[in-house]
Amino acid sequence: MNEQVPPALPNAAVAPKTSGLAIAGLVLGILGVTCLLPIIGPLLALILSSVALSQINKSGGSVTGQGQAIAGVVLGGIGMILIPIVAIFAAMLLPALAQAQFKAREAVCIMNVKQIGLSCALYADEHSGTLPRKLDDLKPYTPSTKPFICPQARDNTGYSYAFVGVTNKWQADPNLIILREIEANHRGRRAVLFDDGHAEMKSDTR
């Protein structure tokens, strides 16, 4: 008697897998749009998501992730569009930021010279109305030597200001410049201190 061979079991259905390229493209697209990975993120998102879509279409249903791949393509495209827009805004903002920084340093320089003027007044009060001969004479009247250095100076290893020496008397003539910035650190202008204690920015051409 022949033994009956049991019928073969049907092959178990293989669960489709999600495309890793689709997931990677989606992640890179998100990073590109949020500017966490500019330029390279959107570009890679477009490439990987496009490859993932091609693989998914050819897989016959064994590979899924079409939604993630499409989202990656869309986000990558948005990221590529945003790149020139961001570049244009940056080009517009950088000069304004540079100008604001320049103005801020100019204001600090004027404040430095005014602080030196206050120190000159204290010095003159204790020295029969005379002016100091050099900035080092004012050290007892200033909390630090920081006001002696312009923030715009190219060389901050030395003092940025020096006494002119036109008079040795404090408040002898309010029109006299008694101290000036050594270098024209402010686009052809330099800070000056008048004998009455007020400070201005003066151009070398005037």
Q: Indicate yes or no: pTM above 0.75.
A: no
**pLDDT tens-digit profile of 120-140?**
999 999 999 999 999 999 999
Per the CB < 8 A criterion, the answer to whether 179 and 194 are in contact is no
Q: What is the dihedral of CA 162, 165, 168, 173, to 10 degrees?
A: -100
Beta-strand ranges (E) seen in 48-175 are 63-64, 161-163
3-state secondary structure of 162: strand
Answer with the residue of higher pLDDT: 111 or 94.
111
**pLDDT tens-digit profile of 21-72?**
889 888 988 888 887 777 888 888 889 989 988 888 888 888 888 889 899 8
pLDDT at position 34, please? 81
DSSP assignment of 133-147: SSGGGGGGGSS-SGG
pLDDT at position 14, please? 63
**What is the Cα–Cα distance from 69 to 52, expressed in whole angstroms?**
6
